[in-house]
Every structure is written in C-alpha cells, then in structure tokens.
Amino acid sequence: MKKFILGLSCGLILAGSSVAFASDTIQALLFPASFEINGSQVKLNSDYQILNVDGHAYVPVRFVAENLGATIDYDSEAQKIVVKNKSLDIKDPDYASISVGNLILTKAGNTTKVTGQLKFEGVGNSQNMIGAGLSFYNEDNEKIGEAAISGNNFGVDTQTFVTEGEGDFKNYDAVYLHIGAVNHRIILDVPSMIYHNSQYRFTLHVPSSWEGKYEVEEQRDEASEFVNYLFINKANKAFGGVLFSISIWTKEDWLANGPTTKGIGQVYKLGEDENHVFLLFPPGDVEYNPHDEELAAEFLSMADQISTIRRSFKFE
C-alpha cells in the first residue's frame, strides 16, 4: 500500500453530490482488512466496506470517527463532512457533573439537526435517564433556537445523541446547557436575586448564593463616556476579585471599535437601547488568590454562573 486515505462515510458517493475523476471508470476492489484502533480490535460490520482504488485504501470515515470517540455528520448545504473530537466543555453551572460538547449543527428542512455528545461523571457504569435542553443565542444575546436532549443510556462513557429544534440556528454565537431532570428527579432552578441598575434601567438575575459575597463598583470615564460596573468577589478583592464587568458604550464607539475589541479578547453583547450598547467582559487575568484553595474555589464557583447571568439581562 502506498498510503492510507480516509474515504467517505456513506460510500464513495453521497446523495446530491457530484464526483469528478480523471478517467471514465473507477477500478475498485474490496479490500479485506481488519481494524485496530487505540490497541483494540474493532470489527467492521456489514454496513461498511473497504475499497482498494489504484493502491489506495478508502475506508468509511463514519466508522473510524465513531470508534475514535468523535461526532460526525454531513452538511449538505456546505457539502462537507464535519468531524469533532474535542473535550466536552458545555455545562450547566448548577449541575457540573454533566457535560456536553462536539456539537455539529446541520440544516434539515425547517429544523436544525444537532449531533453531540454527553458525559455524566461519577456514576460508574450505570445507565441514567437525563432530560436537558440546549439554548442557542446569536451575537446580540437573542435566543434563536433550542433543542431537547433526552435518553436513558447516559453514563460515565461519552454517549452520542441526535436531536433537533425548530428553525435555523446553525450559525449560533453561544450555546447553554440546562439540566431539567436526572433519573426522573426534577432539577429545580437555583434561586436568584435581582441586581437593579436605576441609572441605565437594566436588571440581572444573580444567584442567591452570592448574597453578601459580592459588591459592584462603578468606573466612569467622562472624556470617553465609557461606564463600567465591576462585579467583585469581596473575599478576593485584594487580588482584583473581578468576576465580570458590565461596560456601557455609545453606539458610535461600538461601531468604530467593537470589531477590534472582539478580536482582542472575550466580549459579549447584552443588548442596546437608543443611545448605548451594553457589553459583558469576563476577567482577563487571574483575579483570585491561587494559593488559597478556599478563596480560589469561591471565586471559580461564582464565575461559573456568568453564562446564566448573561442570559438574564433585561431592560426595565
């Protein structure tokens, strides 16, 4: 064999696609090969075949991808095969033992198909019922779609799921996970309290567990008209303690400098009124005492709630 080339997952020809070759015909032979993936022998089932074309082996990429623990799907609009095999980094901050990731979104008529993976830490080899939801937002912090996750076979081994939601939200900016039920036990929403900004007339829902642990400092630059509200973890204030900041810009400043700002670091648009754009900035540096486990744990636990707080932003 000259080299080993990954072929197409569903055969050599995908529905609706066109293939061009230098010659009029393809001389292909079935290639009797077995698979060893990460040290384990894996059988190729009857749905797949390996072909030998001019000394090159064409193997089913879906079979290989799934046995490597990846998600895979075909995007017919873009005419490409998408494979994802990264760490699962989408979590509900109120149920951190469950993580989701490797999402692939494809258009399916009037719906969006969502292929992804879920892992439930700390449950051994047991099979667990999970009911959850994924919410998808655009760059203006507006919800553009949602999809439900449900099943009875989730556990510590990563499990692939397929779901769908109404509309087209394939080009989302942010996605959030909410765990609604585990083993038929309803997971109640964490109680919250309202932060009210009377000057700019907006509110945020802050977890009740933050009570007495945070303060808000205002920073104002009269020359540039920038206003920042720093949400600070009081226990770590000596080290900065900034959990996040709400920054209020004029629309002119956002149009002029927003693209550059987004290219430098994380910034999330919360909304806009007639004259201003409201932005959320996560901390850009370590803002807690890394040598004190208790203080670090308090800060990081509070910081995990930022995504939930971001979604709660509302004008009065």
CA-CA distances (angstroms) from residue 262 to 5, 18, 34, 255, 265? 38, 39, 48, 12, 6
Q: What is the pLDDT of residue 26?
A: 66
For residues 183-199, give the mean pLDDT. Answer: 94
> What tens digit of pLDDT does each residue of 119-148 get?
999 998 889 999 999 999 999 999 999 999
How far is Cα 42 from Cα 147, in angstroms, rounded to an integer?
33
> What tens digit of pLDDT does each residue of 58-92 get?
888 888 898 899 999 999 999 999 999 999 999 99
> What tens digit of pLDDT does each residue of 194-206 get?
999 999 999 999 9
> What tens digit of pLDDT does each residue of 262-310 get?
888 889 999 999 999 999 999 888 999 999 999 999 999 999 999 999 9
DSSP 285: S
Q: What is the pLDDT of residue 35?
A: 85
> What tens digit of pLDDT does each residue of 1-56 get?
333 333 433 343 333 334 444 455 667 788 788 888 888 888 887 778 888 888 88
CA dihedral of residues 310, 165, 272, 286 (deg, nearest 10)? 30
Task: At 277, list the tokens.
Answer: 């754009």
Mean per-residue pLDDT of the chain:
88
How far is Cα 269 from Cα 186, in angstroms, rounded to an integer?
32
